Amino acid sequence: MSVFRAGLFAGTVVVITGGGTGIGRALALAFGELGARVVIAARREGPLREVVETIEEGGGRARFYTLDVRDEARVEAVIGQIWEEVGPVDVLVNNAGGNFVSPAAAMSVGGFKTVLDINLVGSFLMSQAVGRRWLEAGRGGSIINMSATNAESGSPLMVHSGASKAGINSLTQTLAVEWGGAGVRVNAVLPGPVRTEGSDERLWTDEKVVKRLEDGIPLGRFAQPEDVVGVVMFLASEAGAFLTGSLIAVDGGERLRRLIF
């Protein structure tokens, strides 16, 4: 992240859900490096603890809270604790997400609702708990939602994920309008396929599929978590001061793939 100046986020409290692995981990490390007070939250303590230790070893400041973003009471309690123990939140990154591959016809309603609850309801609960405090205090802030390109292009074999991410896009634009006057900016980042712990385990398990996807990416390679970091930093910084309700794809052009002949 050497394109961003040292100390860019000094004095800024950044909360990242799902910060123990994958894209969330890359974001936590990058924000930590640029001086933010990083707070990460997810269900498993092990990965969260490891990320906090890595940030602290590098001279940064971080802490973690365990929570399930679907649990309304726990979300409210953890956000309250963060305000008291760390300070008012400046940036919220709704990154926690779930997915698995299944034909729509075979998917249980429970499976469908599980992914909707984690991705869409979880992002709503976190945004509401943080946003209410911002509105009450008359202070602004920035929310960055982790959507995906499957929100806009159909989502074969991941109907739950595509529907949830389309919902996140709408949530992003609605909150941007409702809260813009209070100085709250709400934007979304839409990655295409990214190699992460979670997706390698659940989505990109077949090397033939990986190769086919990669062949369709104009920039010629699969994304790594670090590829998503720059745009999130930009949106969280003053450089993004006039962006709200924006949906920004980060996919090496994958969503544009078209066979002409």
Ligand X SMILES: CCCCCCC/C=C/C(=O)SCCNC(=O)CCNC(=O)[C@H](O)C(C)(C)COP(=O)(O)OP(=O)(O)OC[C@H]1O[C@@H](n2cnc3c(N)ncnc32)[C@H](O)[C@@H]1OP(=O)(O)O
Ligand Y SMILES: NC(=O)C1=CN([C@@H]2O[C@H](COP(=O)(O)OP(=O)(O)OC[C@H]3O[C@@H](n4cnc5c(N)ncnc54)[C@H](OP(=O)(O)O)[C@@H]3O)[C@@H](O)[C@H]2O)C=CC1
What residue ranges bind ligand X (CB under 6 A)?
97-100, 102, 108, 110-111, 114-115, 148-150, 161, 192-193, 198-199, 202-203
Strand partners, 223: 194
- Which burial class, exposed, middle or buried, applies to 73 when counting CB atoms under 10 A from its CB (0-12, 13-18, 19+)? exposed
SS3 of residue 190 by DSSP = strand
Q: Rule CB under 6 A: say whether 221 interacts with ligand Y.
A: no
Judged by beta carbon distances under 5 to 8 A according to partner kind, the member of ligand Y, ligand X, none in contact with residue 20 is ligand Y
Report the residue from 32, 60, 167, 191 that binds ligand Y according to the rule CB under 6 A.
191
Question: Cβ distance 158 to 101 under 8 Å?
Answer: yes
Structure tokens at 143: 């929310």
Q: Binders of ligand Y: how many residues, by CB under 6 A?
A: 30
250 sits in the region (left: phi over 0; alpha: psi -120 to 50; else beta) called beta
- Lookup: tokens for 5: 């100046």
Q: Minimum Å distance from CB 252 to ligand Y?
A: 12
252 in contact with ligand Y (CB under 6 A): no
Residue 172 binding: pick among ligand Y, ligand X, none (C-beta 5-8 Å cut-off by kind): none
Q: State how far Cα 188 lies from the chain centre.
A: 8
Report the C-alpha gap between 56 and 54 in whole angstroms: 6
Mark 88-127 with x for binding to ligand Y (rule: CB under 6 A) and - for no binding: -------xxxxx------------------x---x-----
User: Are 231 and 145 spatial neighbours (Cβ–Cβ below 8 Å)?
Assistant: no
According to CB under 6 A, which one of 6, 7, 11, 44 is a site residue for ligand Y? 44
Identity of residue 69: V
**Beta carbon of residue 247, minimum distance to ligand X (angstroms, whole number):** 14
To ligand X, the closest distance from the beta carbon of 68 in angstroms equals 8
**Among 50-58, 85-93, 193-201, 209-217, which window interacts with ligand Y (CB under 6 A)?**
193-201
Residue 114 interacting partner from ligand Y, ligand X, none (CB closer than 5 to 8 Å by kind): ligand X
Instruction: Specify the residue, 75 or 203, whose C-beta has the smaller distance to ligand X.
Output: 203
Phi, psi of 72 (to 5 degrees): -55, -45
Nearer Cβ to ligand X (56/72): 72
Backbone angles phi, psi at 238, to 5 degrees: -60, -25
24 binds, among ligand Y, ligand X, none (CB under 5 to 8 A by kind): ligand Y
Q: CA 118 → CA 32, 74, 79, 103, distances in Å?
A: 25, 14, 17, 20
Site residues for ligand Y per CB under 6 A: 17-18, 20-24, 42-44, 47, 68-70, 95-99, 118, 122, 146, 148, 191, 193-194, 196-199
